[in-house]
Amino acid sequence: MSTNYRVENWTWSEDPFYRLGLMSVSRLAIRVGTAESDTCERVEGLWIHILHERPMKNNTIAYRVGWLIDGSGESALSNRIVTIEDAHFGKILADDRRISEHITIVDMSDCTVFPALIDSHVHLVMSGNTEPSMRQNQLTNEYEERRKTIAAHLLQHLRCGVVAVRDGGDQNGDILRYKHDPANLPLPLVTIAAPGRARRAPGRYGKLIGIEVPPGKTLAQSFFTEQSPRDHLKIVNSGLNSLTQFGVESPPQFEKEALIQAITTARQRGLPTMVHANGAIPVRLAVEAGCDSIEHGFFMGKPNMQRMADNGVVWVPTAATMKAYSDYLQAQGHRSDPSFAEVSQQNLDHQLEQIGIARQMGVTLALGTDAGSPGVRHGYGVKMELELFVAAGYRVEEAIRCASRNGARLMGLHDRGKIAPGMRADFMAVRTTPDQLPADLHRIAHRVVAGRPIDMPEGG
């Protein structure tokens, strides 16, 4: 650990959600070191070290990295010097370039460095637990308990290298409430974009993530009758995928005109729209209505992929959900029909085939895990989804672009997701070589967020 960092201005707080810099956590105990050491925080059995980025001699710090994946999708570069100035990336230099003796150089020559990751589809209020009673309890307990669950999930994301998440909605609007709750300010290190409650048609799928459009109101009116601090809209326009019959498609929930009205109104207010849609017709209607992203997109077909490529609609395929179902059903079986495992595997194989085709057709994909669905743990699901992208034909550098730059653009974080001059300095360093990713993603050795080193025990 470098001694060129000063620890300062740390105090005790009686607030159970102590505000450490930019991040809110619970059950906190603090050990303050000397001016030449670090500050340690005990959170849920995990030591977090916050290392302040105030070099004593210069506001520029340099990192010597063994391999650099910059988030552009281009091949990894070897032996680079990455400089950071005032929380933003400065120069990217070949390792043999001379660096001023006044600049601190941190050696990461045994690491592969890449942009901090973004999960473009999560449900922060739910865990990936597969026990039905526990999942139900998460939705019916008091907000204060759900608030702690959200905080724990954000910490899991940070541990796994994720510094921004795009939520897909919850029935109580808890994520928006958490984001704007004064008790959680300043905002956490993990940036949150949330839609509040999603909207679904009466009697249709989506109860866990939103509410029905009330009688007598249009889809657009149900969103905008009252003011909301939402970051985007979430519309549910199909059902779930069948686990009993392969390739079954559900009908759309909304007519095209209703979708157009809601999406156009949102865009006039500066809000993007994410649409849950599986099957050819629900996806087509959403794309033709002008949505910004299709979530899931199982069985949508090549014509819809072409429409998405032509119109710049982003696809968030969430293949990890079907992988988790397949793994669980193969291990546990099903009380009524063992063929469910076979159908879930067929669904997964078809989705991977679609991902490969979409890559060839030029569709923009952003990585999203649907974390919080059964078997998909927050943070940890990113590694699974990256592996599935690679299995579908993406090079690891391309897959990381989907999990960084593409996700940043989808969230409107235009200064994030790429290691380049002027971009916000968010990166992860994994003690491995590029050819061992994403398998070695759990070996995160260094995390830097907005230029600030965030030191956790190695692993993700």
pLDDT in tens, 218-229: 999 999 987 889
Residue from 409, 451, 400 nearest 430 by CA: 400
CATH number of 117-410: 3.20.20.140
Percent of the chain beyond pLDDT 70?
Answer: 84
DSSP 438: T
pLDDT digits (tens, 9 = 90+) for 237-261: 999 988 788 999 999 999 999 999 9
Share of the chain above pLDDT 90, in %: 71
The number of beta carbons lying within 10 Å of the beta carbon of residue 142 is: 7
pLDDT tens string 168-185: 999 999 999 999 998 887
Give per-residue pLDDT as tens, 414-424. 999 999 999 99
Report which of 343, 316, 135 is spatially closest to residue 241, judged by C-alpha positions. Answer: 343
Neighbours of 26 (CB within 10 A): 15
**3-state percent helix, strand, coil for the chain, nearest multiple of 5:** 30, 25, 45
The pLDDT assigned to 244 comes to: 83
Grade residue 436 by pLDDT with cuts at 50, 70 and 90.
very high
Q: Identify whether the C-beta of residue 120 lies closer than 8 Å to the C-beta of residue 366.
A: yes
Torsion of CA 226, 232, 233, 237, to 10 degrees: -170
Give residue limits of the domains in the chain: 60-116+417-455, 117-410
pLDDT above 70 (res 314) = yes
Closest CA to 53 of 93, 85, 80: 85
The strand pair at 452-455 and 46-50 is best described as antiparallel
Mean pLDDT (whole number) for 399-404: 98
> What are the tens digits of pLDDT across the range 131-170?
878 877 877 889 999 999 999 999 999 999 999 999 999 9
Q: Does domain 60-116+417-455 have CATH number 3.90.45.10?
A: no
Q: Cis (ω within 30 of 0) for the bond into 338?
A: no
pLDDT above 70 for 62: yes
What's the pLDDT tens digit per position in 259-294?
A: 999 999 999 999 999 999 999 999 999 999 999 999
Q: What is the mean pLDDT of residues 296-300?
A: 98
pLDDT at 421: 97
Radius of gyration for the alpha carbons in the chain, expressed in angstroms and rounded: 22
Average pLDDT of the chain, as a whole number: 86
Of 403, 324, 318, the closest CA to residue 354 belongs to 318
